[in-house]
Amino acid sequence: MTDRPPLQVAALRELLLAPAGPLARLDVVPETGSTNDDVVAGLRDDPDAWPHASLLVTEHQVAGHGRAGRTWTSPARAALTCTFVARPRSGPATYGWLPLLAGLGAVRALRATAGVRAVLKWPNDVLVELGEDVESLDGWGTARKVAGVLAQAVPQVQGVAVGIGLNVDQSRDELPVPWATSLALAGARSADRASLLVALVGALDQVARRWVEHDGDAVAAGLVDEVASVCSTVGRPVRVELPGGDVLTGTATGLDDDGALLVRDAQGVGRRVLAGDVAHLRVMGDTGS
């Protein structure tokens, strides 16, 4: 049986809470339905209790939310599941950057701590590139999803719940879909949830500070190019299932100033994509993500 020890909450609070760390609040609960649901409810009921840089972590999430209403679950203590609170001064028009910035922070934390080839898949998936030794899957290539981000705005209080679910040491039969993986399966040099959490908080704090200091202007903060540099979607042929059922096929050429994906279709016409499910298409000789 896999040894999955609980998080040492006292040690994490000492490391991560102000003044020693960047967090204003840190709660760790044994089990919950969804950390995002809990934080959204908290922001609505008592916004002063959930300041910027609050964090809720659960040892076991039993009814988490994926994109498009999908359910995301994992065994107890097999994943790092948490929700950060952002209370930006900038308006809702800037909130589209939050899942991308959270993805950037997650990629940096995983590369530094776990030593895996983590990349971002627009708009809110973190993948690990596994190379030629694994089967190429339609829409994913030889990359597999190791983490997802879900941002939910609470406009009444100018707040956003930014949830991150990271697969840490699940076995193959504990993963719900063939395009998912865990750090353990991906050969990570470390699969310790506490170390990953500390690295993730630090990376997100660095990114968020720059974004907030520039009033949500990712261009002025120099973050557009940094996100694009770790986003494996940029430069690839893609198929995008748009809200409403339309499908756009073309080449992802970059990111717009508001975080939208720029896609050039087969006729050479540029399109802006603000939301959609993106599949990475293969090109001749391509074995990557």
Q: Which domains does the chain have, with CATH numbers?
A: 9-228 (3.30.930.10), 234-280 (2.30.30.100)
Residue 269 pLDDT exceeds 90: yes
Residue 219 pLDDT exceeds 90: yes
- The pTM score is 0.95
Dihedral sign for Cα atoms in the order 276, 146, 104, 118: negative
DSSP labels, 233-277: TTTSEEEEE-TTS-EEEEEEEEE-TTSPEEEEETTS-EEEESS-E
**Mean pLDDT score across all residues of the chain:** 94
d(CA 71, CA 93): 27
The beta strands (E) that lie in the chain are given as: 25-29, 54-58, 64-65, 71-72, 79-86, 118-121, 125-129, 143-154, 159-167, 237-241, 247-255, 261-265, 270-273, 277-280
Confidence (pLDDT) at 282: 83
Helices of type H across 116-255: 193-213, 223-230
Residue 285 pLDDT exceeds 90: no
Per residue in 8-29, pLDDT (tens digit) is 999 999 999 999 999 999 999 9
Per residue in 51-61, pLDDT (tens digit) is 999 999 999 99
Per residue in 158-197, pLDDT (tens digit) is 999 999 999 999 999 999 899 999 999 999 987 799 999 9
Per residue in 60-115, pLDDT (tens digit) is 999 988 666 677 778 999 999 999 999 999 989 999 999 999 999 999 999 999 99
